[in-house]
Structure 1
């Protein structure tokens, strides 16, 4: 049974969007952690399956490709262990419920490879869903637009014939939340580190070649320093400023609530004194 709809928490949406905007030339990827809720006890609801996404696991790409992402079995295993730890912390069942990746400068719709990959995941878990963030696309007015789609795969071939999968869109709702949850704060904090690790691994691969001349080595080192600096400029600095602004805003709310509490306690004391 296909998923009826997906609820994506606003803070998890923020993490994925930050990750998608971190690279304009290559696709990024990650895994989605949450719950699958099945409603079948009410007469007015017919087997409603809702996927609730509340956390994200940002993945490091071992093989950087401009138009392809792959999730290894080891990464899926690590994500399952991470979901189990979150389940203990949050005191509710959590599991890996899907994957996400970006489409920079291209349409939001899944490619043939994306649909086949999704079908493979659904063979392991029929409730598994996929998210695609299309970023760095411009409309006719040259304004950057971000699009998001949620999909699953369905086999259109008759029984006994070779499978032919096509996408089906799943309704998706971004649900508001009071603030950033601790798991998603941790994912945001890990993002610059993961991006830096990807750059370092790519640089180290070039150093393994025995045929590089000195000029090429200097060039590769300069590219590595430049790309690492860009991560600090584009990701780490703005992210730190955003979190500091949120902290300042929350501290202001705490002061306002403390003031309201003192006023209410004073009003309560005066009422009790009068009686």
Structure 2
């Protein structure tokens, strides 16, 4: 779709279609950190003629810089993500590529910041149909007395203003690659914690400080295991049991129809 901004002719997405399992992975990732932003990349297909992007998978990245108001990815991570996206072509049996990025806004609104829009503009230099998703998590609704999860799909225009893009969630079964992404999430978070604490320990020679840092690292890893790994395992076991029950029910229906 073409829109005019002054004398410039800019191409924007008409809509973005995301599979329900990718949507679930993104939310699961966003809910892992209440104080810092998280980030990942979206893999899918772009219809250049209809200006429609379909998202089939996501790649959870190891953060090189962790802050409350921003997150950065190293060039090495982007390179590895591109290689991973190429491998997904054979797994998904589709010609997929990196089509967008997502990150979280813990305790703040879904509206993209100036930095977010500037980052989006940079990505659109590579592909004008590159898309961004923001998940707002841990936002308390005083009226309903509950926490809400919201999402926005956007692009940036040449004047670095937000361009809203309709987002459609397509109900689909869990793909193996997205199931593996969820299962690998605790491992990635633990690697981030270990790397962060190791850097801190290398900067000090005081044995008491080193001991304190090691204790903090152990506490952080334990927190990930108890708050994420264990509930995740329990949820996957319940999902497996539900799937087995559904298979049994369908087998009974098949036998009845055969008779």
TM over 0.5: yes
Q: Please, which runs of 5 or more residues in structure 1 have no aligned partner?
A: 40-47, 157-164, 267-275
Counterpart of 2:230?
Answer: 237
For residues 113 and 207 of structure 1, the distance between their equivalents in structure 2, rounded to whole angstroms, comes to 31
- Paired residues in the alignment total 248
The one of 190, 207, 225 equivalent to 2:184 is 190
Q: Which runs of at least 4 in structure 1 moved beyond 3 Å after TM superposition?
A: none
Q: Distance in 2 between matches of 1:62 and 1:49?
A: 32
- Give the distance between the partners of 1:214 and 1:17, measured in 2 at CA: 40
Partner of residue 144 from structure 1, selected from 147, 157, 160: 147
**1:102-251 map, 5 Å:** 102-141=104-143, 142-156=145-159, 165-177=160-172, 179-211=173-205, 213-251=206-244
- The Cα of 1:38 is off from its aligned counterpart by 4.0
Alignment partners' CA distance in 2, 1:87 and 1:69: 28
Shift of 1:189: 0.8
CA distance in 2, matches of 1:77, 1:2: 26
TM-score by length of 2: 0.92
* Whole-angstrom CA distance in 1 between matches of 2:203 and 2:73: 27
Distance 2:214 2:190 in 1: 14
C-alpha distance in 2 between matches for 1:169 and 1:23:
26
For structure 2, the residue ranges without an aligned partner over 5 or more in a row are: 1-10
Distance 1:22 1:232 in 2: 11
What's the TM-score once normalised by structure 1's chain length? Answer: 0.87
